[in-house]
Amino acid sequence: MQALRTASRGVYCGPLRLLAWQCYEDLLAMGLDTDLLTGQEHIRGKSAEGSEPQLDLAPEATETGVGSHLSCTVEMCPGPGSVDYDVGVIDEVQLVGDRERGGAWTRAILALPAREIHLCGDGRATKLVEALLGMYRPNDVVLRHSPYSRLSPLFLSGKAIGSYQSLRRGDCVVVFSRWDIMRVKADIERSTRWRVCVVYGTLPPETRRDQINSFNRQEFDVLVASDCIGLGLNFNIRRVIFSTVHKFDGVETRQLLPTEFRQIGGRAGRYGLSAGAEGGVVTCMHEDHLPALFAGFGLEWTKDTFEKEVPSHLMVSDEITQAAILPESSILSAFHCEAESALGEESLSAAKIFQTFADVAHTDPICYLGTWSNRMANIAKGLADIEELSFQQVVEFCSAPVDPNDPIVLAGLRTFAQSLVATKQVPLADKMVFDAEVPTTVSAVFHLERVCQIYDLYLWLARRSSSMIYTSEKEARDARAKVVEAITNAIRGELEIDSSEDVAAQVAEKLMDDDLPGSRRKFKSIELGSVL
C-alpha cells in the first residue's frame, strides 16, 4: 500500500465495497485526489482546490476518473483504454481461483492498465499469476508480491470453550447461518454479561462497518460473525471460536476446507490491541470438532493437547493452479449469433446459450470457466417469458449482483425487466420509496436487507445505462440510506427471534407495480411461490 500512496497515479482493486471505501478514505486522508468506484456508486475525490467529494450520477463517467488515484471493487477494475496508472494493487489475489468471482481477478490481472502491479494475498496464487502474465502480458508489467504475513504468533487451543459462560471480551464466535448468528447473539446476551455485535455477508456495508468499528472500539464485547471476516477486514479479535466445522456452500453441507480454517482462524491476533506479543488463539465450541480444526492447520489433536503454535509455513495451503475466467458480453453475443445461425433457430433461449457456451468452450489448461454459466442460466430462466428482452439485455440482467436462489430479489429484477420492455423506462415504483421503521424482529431485519439489495440492484443497473432509462437513481439512493439506517439501529439493539414466513408476502407486495402490464397474479405465483 505504500507504493500506492507514493505513486503519481495509482489504483486499488479490492474484494469488498467496504474495503474499497476504506482505501478511498485512507487515500483522501493523506491528501490524495481519489475517486471511489463500485458497482453502485462513483464518488469523485476532492479537486485541486480541495473541494468535498461529489457523488457522480452520470453513468457514462464511470469509465474514467479525474483523480490521481482510484479505489474500486475488483469487478469495476479499469481496463485497456482507460487511465494508465503507475501502480496497481490487487487485493486478496488468491480469489483468482474462486469458482464464482474469480473471473474478475483474472480480468484485473490481465487487463489492469498499470506499469507495476502489486499482489496482496496469502501467496497461493503467485506462480499462477506469473504464468498468466508470462503468457498474455510478457514484458508489459512489473510484478510485485506483497504476501500477508503475521506479526504475532497464532495458537490452536486443545480445549474447547464448552459454553458461552467461558467467553471473554474480544472473542469471535464463527457461525455459518445468519439465523443462527442472531440466535447465538441472543443466547450469549441472555446467558452472560457481554454485549454482542454481528457481521455477516448480507448486511449492508455501512451496517457492517458500524458493527466492526463498535467491536474494535470495545463498545461491544463479543463478535458473532460468518466466514466473511476472513476477507481482508481488520478486527480486534483475540480468540476465534468455531461454533461448527461444517457449512453449506450453496450446493451441499460439507466440512470446512483447510484454506477456510486458516483464513478465518488467522483473523485472531492480527490487528489492534489483540495483536500483541501473546498473539491470537483459535479453538472450537465443542470438543468433537477439535480434530478437524487441528487437521485443517496440518496439526494433530489428542485429548492431552493443551495448545500448539501454528508454524508460519502451515498458514499457507496448497497452491492455486487454475484461474477462473468470465466471458465478456461481446463474446457471448457473438456466440449467440453463431449458434442461431448454425442451428437454424431464431430464438434459442439465453439459458441454453450460456450452458452451451460453457460446454463447448476450450480454455488454456491453467484457466477454467467457473460456475458463471449455472448462475446466469438460472436467472435467465426466470426472465424467459419476457420475450421482448434482447439477448444483450438478458446478459446485462443476468450479470447483475443477484442471488439466483432468492425469489424476492429475483422478483425485483423481473419487475425492472418488465418495466423496461413495457415503457422503455425503469422508474422506481412508489411502493419501493418509503420511510423504513426500525425493525424489532429478526425476520423484519432480513427482509429490509432484501429491500436494500433491490436498491443496490437498481443502482447497479443504472450505472450501466442512461439516466433517461433508470430515472429514479437519486430516489433509490435516498430510500436505501433510510433502510440502511433502520437496519443499523435495529442490529445495535435487541431483536425478537421469529419466523420469516409471515412477512415474505408483505415484502413481495412492495416489489410489485400495479401499473405494469401482464398477469400480476401469475407473476407472483411463479416467482414467489416458494415463500408465500
Domain-by-domain residue ranges, the chain? 1-137, 154-315, 400-530
d(CA 64, CA 70): 10
What are the 10-residue block averages of pLDDT along the chain, 532 residues in total?
A: 91 95 93 94 67 53 67 94 91 94 96 94 90 90 79 93 97 97 97 97 96 96 96 90 94 93 92 64 98 96 90 79 94 92 78 94 92 93 94 96 90 96 92 86 95 96 90 95 97 87 48 40 30 24
Architecture of domain 400-530: Up-down Bundle (1.20)
As a whole number of Å, the end-to-end CA separation of the chain is: 49
- pLDDT, position 231: 85
Q: Would you identify the CATH topology of the domain 154-315? A: Rossmann fold (3.40.50)
pLDDT for res 166: 97
Which set of grid coordinates corresponds to residue 497?
427471534
Retrieve residue 426's grid coordinates.
425503469
| Pairing, β 142-147 against β 280-284 | unpaired
Do 121 and 89 touch, CB atoms closer than 8 A? no
> Which CATH architecture does the domain made up of 1-137 adopt?
3-Layer(aba) Sandwich (3.40)
Rounded (5°) CA angle 16-404-21: 15
DSSP annotation string for 300-353: ---TT--EEE--GGGGS-SPP--EE----HHHHHHHHHHHHHHHT-S---HHHH
pLDDT digits (tens, 9 = 90+) for 99-128: 999 999 999 999 999 999 999 988 889 999
Quote the pTM value. 0.87
Asked if 1-137 and 154-315 have one fold, the answer is yes
DSSP structural state of residue 257: P
Assigned C-alpha cell, 173: 464466535
**Residue 282 belongs to what H/E stretch?**
strand 280-284
Q: How far apart are CA 516 and CA 27, in angstroms?
A: 45
Q: Which amino acid appears at position 526 of this protein?
A: I
Please tell me what DSSP assigns to residue 249. -
Radius of gyration of the chain (CA): 24
pLDDT of residue 437: 92
